[in-house]
Amino acid sequence: MIDRDEAARAAILARLAVSREELRRILEPPPNEPDTGGSKNGDGPGGFPRSRTMQALMSGRGLGTLGAAAAGLLVARPGLALRLLRLLPAGAVAKTLLIRGIAALREKHAKH
């Protein structure tokens, strides 16, 4: 019985190690890119987004999740959603969205 408990514990610890490694791989910058603290758009050290959390949120999957959560909040509590929207740095967000839009258009035209 103790052997089964130890085997189950070892299996759980192995799965935890795998999931921790996946999280590290997702959240940490790739090793071939220097960690400048800025965005991938080349904005430099003072660019937006600076934190790894915001960089993960501004990635493709992160933006989809963030958009769904924002739409749900806007439908459920529009007053709170608008107050939170005022806290965003509008210039930096607009610049990032504009750069992404232009890059998407260039990519679309390059495929044709």
Query: Residue 11 pLDDT > 50, yes or no?
Result: yes
Please write the tens of the pLDDT for every residue from 91-103. Answer: 888 888 888 888 8
pLDDT of residue 97: 82
Q: Looking at the whole model, is its pTM more than 0.75?
A: no
Write a three-state SS string for 71-111: HHHHHHCHHHHHHHHHCCCHHHHHHHHHHHHHHHHHHHHHH
Please write the tens of the pLDDT for every residue from 77-88. Answer: 999 988 988 888
Q: Taking the domains of the chain in order of start, what are their residue ranges?
A: 2-111
